[in-house]
Structure 1
């Protein structure tokens, strides 16, 4: 219940909570006003990829702010805009060469949805407007991106306002929504998640479908679940067959997070649009955007006089773009990608070892430094915690008391059941810091397990 007396003027994310006030950060640590140190084991919201207190980025932002803090991209552009766009395009798969900037991932996905629609309309495919997304996915909180996403809890309040988009199940072999074994799908070369996608297309009618949007590795909603290796290759074929724009949401997975420049590079296909955010500026400034295939750009030039009917006041904001340029320079200079590969493998090994010691871990998954553990009342059988336990939130609360913060999530099984934690520290993390992180995680899980036993909940629910 909210206090009757207003004690501050902030519209808090949750008025039932009291939040620590962070005064500063350094490396992978944050410090509050009482001097308490928190290990940032989730890079904030999987965004602070270079950790905290990087003066080089702050100085680049200040330098740009002194030169030109703001220009409207309807009238002007800046040198840093061209420099960052070039760096990003050179990291992307072939034929994706044009970069459009926004402030956040929601805006990036909203832009991609609108661009796909304009692309079809310009070519005379006027009925193509529906986007197919996936359940247990997240693409943002604007109405368009929320409509495309499959986060049931976030969607519920706003259901009457959402667009009439369609959804298929996300591939999750550990919790297959089609009740199949991965080995059976591989043996028969018949994947239900792929077949279902094509079935939905034919039911709706291909002439009505504009785009398909998917995360290469599902982050917050499934806890770092990778699809079967063949999945995106088959999806690419189907999108080509029915002239559907394939949007790959790399807001969380881009810029080295999974051990490659972009997560889709694990799967060997070229999307039509890649959206990005978070790591592009390492969290130092609001920055995101989309990388667009030449084919779509060429169509825009040919059929719409080169104009995208869309835009934001702060698109290509010079100070944010300067932060991104500085961050990408550091990624390259410091060999961040290699560190992710080495330290990510080490972290995964430690989490698998922890699973053997902890009876409430059901699964360990993910790539690079986007890793997740799925929690269960019975880790061996995978029996999920009851929804009302809020298990992942409680474990993260314990961890914060012990000095680390993870990224809790729920609803990974059916939108309601299924708890997980993302472990996604800054990409600069060391093996020594990983050891400290896993130790705090293990102690947090032990404390929660003891709470269950004390309440006589564990045996009853198990």
Structure 2
């Protein structure tokens, strides 16, 4: 059957799925090489504050992992000493007791582990708990929604009112208030969705060769196939075999690198993707005040889309609802997740500009053949709306600047004493580069 499929592909001029087409091979040869290993001897201390928290400086000791359990049978002839839960970004074969410690309770800005120790959560769980733990308003909103319409999004139904209200509110807060929002459940899903939309726009505009995605060194764009292919962090790209073609990597700080890529591939570039502040790659704000503006100019001049990955910077982290407002640069697509619900329910998505919407809406018969099972999940949307209400009522977006000023001042004092080598950040998103090899 596979041989027949391959023969049919050959008759159409296509290559079998497990082989590179000549075009793909040429693209790989022409695409600039990826970056050298990043930070081989550098330690980073990420300080990401819950916006509702005070600025008392503390970091949780390490990421908690699944608790140990009794060895259980994996088959009739073997057993494993490891827990059944495979932890993300963990070491599956490690017996490190720190990987077995787990959190059992959280309240306000504190979390508590199984040994009874408490920690001030200085990283807002995983960069997302904007309003702190135990907010009954969000819990009640989710509970109430589950008792009415828990979930139904796909045709023939038009979704549910809470999903439409959620999308409308997110778009209102963004740099594209006349656009639309697609909802999913994570930043990784959002990034891959944005890449597909960027390519779809090229197809709809009669430019099928627009397939190249330009990313930056140090960038982090989730762990799905598209996001992994566009990783700027080498260690996250390695070990998976061949990734997607049509990806070009620009230098993280030198804008001339992006300019060179546009000069070489211009009309074949579908989009440039960047975090306004490169967070997981070390908390790096834009290298110059004009950097993001220049990316915008390059995209506009050559007809490519600009994607801002605001999964971490969105929802107040930089002192504005979105970092695009902080830096005064309007993208065509904006991905978000994390702080949208403060982690009370999983929610991510993509904000589309009016120009992108126009391309999708031009033909009434066009079907947007993309979606996830839990796209626009009602309970997640209810959590998002309650989270936004709290942030607006308590002024937490403005508070990000206040918290950041106090936090950065303390870190700079450490730098003056020689305890840390470098301090950088914006809003409530800061990092300190520690001394050491």
Normalising by structure 2, what TM-score?
0.78
Aligned-residue offset at 1:237:
0.9
Aligned residue in 2 for 1:160: 242
Aligned residue in 1 for 2:19: none
**In 1, Cα distance between equivalents of 2:248 and 2:155:** 34
Residue pair 1:226, 1:366 contacting (<8 A) in 2 also: no
Task: Give the superposed CA RMSD.
Answer: 1.7
Residue pair 2:176, 2:351 contacting (<8 A) in 1 also: no
- Residues 278-320 of structure 1: CA distance to partner in whole angstroms, max 9, x if unpaired? 0000111110101100111111111463532211111001111
Structure 1 or 2: more helix by fraction: 1
Aligned-residue offset at 1:224:
3.7
**In 1, Cα distance between equivalents of 2:324 and 2:80:** 50
Q: Which residue among 223, 230, 251 is the counterpart of 1:148?
A: 230
Aligned residue in 1 for 2:84: 9
User: Are residue 369 (structure 1) and residue 428 (structure 2) matched?
Assistant: yes
- Residues 15-68 of structure 1: CA distance to partner in whole angstroms, max 9, x if unpaired? 314232211100110112222101110011101111111111111111101111
Aligned-residue offset at 1:322:
0.8
- Superposed structure 1 runs of 4+ greater than 6 Å apart: none
Aligned residue in 2 for 1:389: none
User: Are residue 232 (structure 1) and residue 292 (structure 2) matched?
Assistant: yes
Mapping 1:247-286, distance limit 5 Å: 247-286=307-346
For structure 2, the residue ranges without an aligned partner over 5 or more in a row are 1-70, 72-78
Aligned residue in 2 for 1:202: 263
User: Are residue 349 (structure 1) and residue 430 (structure 2) matched?
Assistant: no
- Residues 315-373 of structure 1: CA distance to partner in whole angstroms, max 9, x if unpaired? 001111111111011111111112111121111111101112234x2211111111111
Summarize the Cα distance change of 1:296–1:218 in structure 2 as closer, same or farther, 3 Å threshold: same
Residue pair 1:102, 1:288 contacting (<8 A) in 2 also: yes
Aligned residue in 1 for 2:123: 42
Query: Larger deviation: 134-143 or 66-75?
Result: 66-75
- Residues 56-81 of structure 1: CA distance to partner in whole angstroms, max 9, x if unpaired? 11111111011111213333311111
**In 2, Cα distance between equivalents of 1:254 and 1:102:** 16
Aligned residue in 1 for 2:279: 219
Aligned residue in 2 for 1:71: 152
**In 2, Cα distance between equivalents of 1:163 and 1:356:** 46
Q: Which residue among 187, 211, 220 is the counterpart of 1:129?
A: 211
Query: Larger deviation: 233-242 or 15-24?
Result: 15-24
- Residues 216-265 of structure 1: CA distance to partner in whole angstroms, max 9, x if unpaired? 01101122433311111111111011001000000000010111111122
Aligned-residue offset at 1:277:
0.6
Mapping 1:305-454, distance limit 5 Å: 305-359=365-419, 361-377=420-436, 385=437
Query: Larger deviation: 258-267 or 297-306?
Result: 297-306
Q: Which residue among 179, 186, 189 is the counterpart of 1:104?
A: 186
Tell me the matched-pair count.
354
SS of residue in 2 equivalent to 1:363 = strand
Residue pair 1:217, 1:227 contacting (<8 A) in 2 also: no
SS of residue in 2 equivalent to 1:246 = strand
SS of residue in 2 equivalent to 1:160 = coil
Summarize the Cα distance change of 1:375–1:162 in structure 2 as closer, same or farther, 3 Å threshold: farther
For structure 1, the residue ranges without an aligned partner over 5 or more in a row are 172-192, 378-384, 386-462
